Amino acid sequence: MARLKTADKEFAILEAASRVFAQRPFHEVLIDSIAADAGIGKGTIYRYFETKDDLYFAAILHVLDTLTGALEATLCEEMTAPRRLETIATVILQHFWERRQLLVFFQREEHFPIRHEELATRRERILRFVQETILAGIERCEFRGIDARIGANLFLGMVRSVNLFHRSDDRLEDLVAQLMGVFLSGVARRQG
Amino acid sequence: MARLKTADKEFAILEAASRVFAQRPFHEVLIDSIAADAGIGKGTIYRYFETKDDLYFAAILHVLDTLTGALEATLCEEMTAPRRLETIATVILQHFWERRQLLVFFQREEHFPIRHEELATRRERILRFVQETILAGIERCEFRGIDARIGANLFLGMVRSVNLFHRSDDRLEDLVAQLMGVFLSGVARRQG
DNA sequence: GACATAGAACTGACCGGTCAGTGTCGTAAT
DNA sequence: ATTACGACACTGACCGGTCAGTTCTATGTC
């Protein structure tokens, strides 16, 4: 087999692992399946990851980091707050639109208490994108003075919902429009 | 040991199972632990449930049904749409406030493709409470004419978020108020 | 006596993790 | 250019622990 650079192989394993773990629950996933999916031997996996648990955890971080990367790449400073929020929603939805199975990793996983901290940090990073945008919106008087932490969580809650319930005949732009319609009116400055 | 009626014993097993399964991932849960928690013998569990999978699945349904029951018991017809929504949010949040671990069952579980249908039905039932309330609100011109299915999902998405992120020093009523503040303005009839 | 139960002892399939053996590379001596 | 060698990545058959599910007996309850 052609040898890959170490980082590439690790990447390949993570991609395979996130695919396979996304399909079935942890206990139904065989390390053999991941090895097969990655096109490598089972033993090789253990050169890169200590245990099945480690690999699982790394796969989740991999998915979250990929999403964070996509967000960082798309957002730019000059946007208005509403435009920024719309972009965030669109990027997240696009990211999972064709990879719905990966969504299980976006949900909060309560079952790893020890590593919970590390996961929380990653999710915090995504939350902060939204939170800071809301704060900026409040400062510029685009939004009313809501609690930015709560607002950001509510926003991401709606995004997650859309991710979960959308059907194949839904159009992404329509759903984003509906979501933004509710959220922006919801946080707009009181009228009259 | 005092003999319980069959239904009671099944109920006791389900309660124990939902407690234990909520604490650790499926593969780390021993049938022995559930038996111990329920205060019964391991063999007895297999008189009521065919396999560990069956028990797990039944435990999830049990939790969802308990929640649905709580909703049915609390809601009454005469409420206005906003009041009804607020009640739904409060009941769901209260239900999980002191039993956060059970939240994993409220999340969409994508990993049981066969039984997915049955689970979807239960969640659909909860969704319908919200959806019908929104429809009623639109009819009575309390809300603008949004898509009720989407609206209901957005609403429940926010509720789930609150369930997930709240901290011990948050007050339930405050969070409900914030949530309702955003959602009600979000779906209010356009002003001016 | 009929029946439910506890719970200990048992069985065997299953699968995470290992490691001896194989292949591949870079390098250096000839 | 060829050969040789050391280092190390890779492989997959295999091992051994674990635990779901079964069976059985003693102990109750109705």
Q: Is the pLDDT of residue A4 over 70?
A: no
Give chain D positions with protein CB within 7 A: 9-13, 19-24, 28-30
In angstroms, the separation between the Cα of residue A6 and the nearest Cα of chain B is 31
Chain B residues in contact with A26 by the CB 8 A cut-off are 25-27
**Dist CA A130 CA A125 (whole Å):** 9
Which one, of B83, B91, B58, B75, lies nearest residue B140 by Cα? B83
What is the rounded average pLDDT for all residues in chain B? 91
DSSP string, A16-33: HHHHHHHHS-GGG--HHH
CB B62 within 8 A of CB B18: yes
**Dist CA B140 CA B128 (whole Å):** 18
pLDDT tens figures, B158-180: 999 999 999 999 999 999 999 99
- For chain A, how are helix, strand and coil distributed in percent, rounded to 5? 75, 0, 25
The residue ranking higher by pLDDT, A76 or B191, is A76
The reported pTM is 0.91
Categorize the per-residue pLDDT at B2 as very low, low, confident or very high, splitting at 50, 70 and 90: very low
Cβ separation A154–B179 shorter than 8 A:
yes
User: How many residues can be counted in chain B?
Assistant: 192
Q: Is the pLDDT of residue A5 over 70?
A: no
In this structure, is the CB of residue B41 within 7 Å of any atom belonging to strand C?
A: yes
DSSP B3: P
